[in-house]
């Protein structure tokens, strides 16, 4: 294939991948909007009840044990949320993987499809969603979340904010963020592009683990601001994107950390 023809194919592939990622993100955000609107229940007083994020107006007495179906609905909610929040920031990695994969295919040495890499990344965040659901269950059991899944304790909110703020300054945050900012460096330091699907899946999962290491404390703030608060979900998603996409992402992360610490300290003073 000539260089001009290859360039045209790469442009087409890039457009297809960007469109696919945009559609996936849009569907995730549409689902989140639907769930959030459902949970508001038209402003009804939900005292004594908790909402189940099913889009069907489901609720349970606040003190009733969780049923398996409720756990499943909450896991799905977290997975969809992670897809909506993380798709923009992982797009450069998937685009790089797809471009290099296409170039390799033209030399008769194809890599595994980029979909395998993306599936591994999603697998890592699904595991995180399971952990987040368990944390939500524990917080609701301890009566630390409101029926709308917001923090019911200034102490919990303040401590969570301060912990998240301090984490923004840690070497672990810096190390994970460095890999998220440099997709090609990450791939080369972890064995390069893979020809077999299992290898691409594992590589995507490893990248997802680094992203979790970078973002877990930010995601924990959803328990403070409201798990279904779309404004804060969007704000955190934008912060994650800025940290990863901007050349001075570390500065953004640390400035956000200072803001979180200050907000947490203020919130602790509001406890009476």
pTM of the model: 0.89
Residue 62 has pLDDT above 80, yes or no: no
CA angle 65, 67, 70 (to 5 degrees): 115
Q: Please report the pLDDT score of residue 4 as a whole number.
A: 66
Mean pLDDT of the chain: 87
Give domain limits for the chain. 3-269
Residue 249 has pLDDT above 80, yes or no: yes
Distance between CA atoms of 128 and 108, rounded to whole angstroms? Answer: 37
- Number of other CB atoms surrounding residue 109 within 10 Å: 10
In 3D space, the residue among 214, 224, 266 whose CA is nearest the CA of residue 244 turns out to be: 214
In 3D space, the residue among 164, 178, 163, 167 whose CA is nearest the CA of residue 250 turns out to be: 178
Lowest-pLDDT range of 110-114, 205-209, 228-232? 110-114
Structure confidence at residue 46 as a pLDDT band (50, 70, 90) = low
Residue 272 has pLDDT above 60, yes or no: no
Q: Please report the pLDDT score of residue 271 as a whole number.
A: 64
Residue 175 has pLDDT above 80, yes or no: yes
Distance between CA atoms of 243 and 202, rounded to whole angstroms? Answer: 24
SS3 116: helix
Distance between CA atoms of 229 and 146, rounded to whole angstroms? Answer: 13
Mean pLDDT of 214-220: 94
Structure confidence at residue 201 as a pLDDT band (50, 70, 90) = very high
Polymer length of the chain: 272
């Amino acid at each position: 294939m000539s260089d001009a023809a290859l360039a045209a194919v790469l442009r087409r592939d890039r457009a297809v991948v960007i469109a696919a990622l945009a559609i996936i993100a849009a569907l995730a955000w549409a689902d989140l909007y639907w769930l959030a609107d459902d949970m508001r229940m038209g402003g009804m007083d939900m005292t004594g009840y908790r909402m189940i994020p099913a889009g069907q107006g489901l609720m349970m007495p606040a003190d009733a044990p969780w049923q398996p179906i409720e756990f499943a609905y909450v896991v799905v909610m977290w997975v969809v949320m992670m897809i909506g929040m993380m798709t923009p920031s992982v797009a450069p990695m998937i685009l790089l993987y797809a471009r290099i994969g296409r170039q390799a295919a033209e030399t008769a040495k194809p890599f595994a499809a980029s979909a395998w890499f993306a599936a591994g990344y999603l697998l890592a965040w699904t595991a995180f969603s399971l952990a987040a659901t368990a944390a939500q269950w524990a917080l609701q059991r301890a009566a630390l979340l409101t029926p709308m899944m917001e923090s019911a304790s200034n102490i919990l909110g303040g401590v969570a904010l301060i912990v998240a703020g301090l984490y923004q300054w840690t070497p672990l945050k810096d190390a994970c963020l460095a890999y998220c900012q440099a997709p090609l460096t990450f791939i080369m330091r972890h064995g390069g592009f893979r020809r077999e699907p299992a290898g691409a899946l594992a590589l995507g999962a490893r990248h997802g683990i680094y992203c979790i290491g970078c973002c877990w404390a930010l995601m924990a703030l959803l328990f403070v601001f409201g798990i279904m608060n779309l404004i804060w979900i969007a704000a955190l998603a934008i912060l994650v994107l800025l940290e990863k996409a901007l050349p001075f992402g570390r500065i953004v992360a640390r400035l956000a950390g200072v803001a979180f610490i200050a907000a947490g300290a203020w919130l602790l003073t509001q406890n009476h």
